[in-house]
Homo-oligomer: A and B are copies of this chain.
Amino acid sequence: MGIFSKTCEYAIRSVFFIAHRTAGQTGRVGIKEIAVGIDSPEPFLAKILQDLSRRGIVQSTKGPNGGFYLDSASLERPLSDIVAAVDGNDIFYGCGLGLKQCSEVNPCPLHNEFKDIRNKIHIMLHETKIGEFNDELMNGMLSLKK
């Protein structure tokens, strides 16, 4: 188990993929190409993108020349929006040792340490925008598969 659920990993990678494949142009990209591009099981990814689409995190149209894309507002969104939508915000606010409620008045032994780490994760994901890596993804300096 990593930091995020498998679902969330696929979600982030697919959104990065859609971003760099449709940025600028009025293009769309199909589920098949996305699944290959991020090395994920296609039907599972379809479910995930359905959900992201319902939530307005990605855009889509059906039919010929249809597919997924991102409008300019979506490209500016922080990654934390995706993580919160898919995994909830336990990773931002929950107790690292699983106490029902992280609190200053009844802290677990690692409270201060976790608070610091959670904040770093939160800030990092909040400061990173979906469209931020388009150039490096297009020229192959960054990878979303393997």
Contacts and interface: CB of A to CB of B under 8 A. Distances in A.
Interface of A: 1-6, 9-10, 12-13, 16, 87-88, 90-91, 94-101, 106-110, 113-114, 116-117, 120-121, 124, 128, 132-133, 136-137, 142-146
Contact of A91 (B3, B88, B110, B142): B3
A142 B133 CA distance: 43
A110 B4 CA distance: 13
Copies of this chain present: 2
A74 to B, nearest CB: 16
A133 B109 contact: yes
B142 A96 contact: no
Contacts of A133: 109
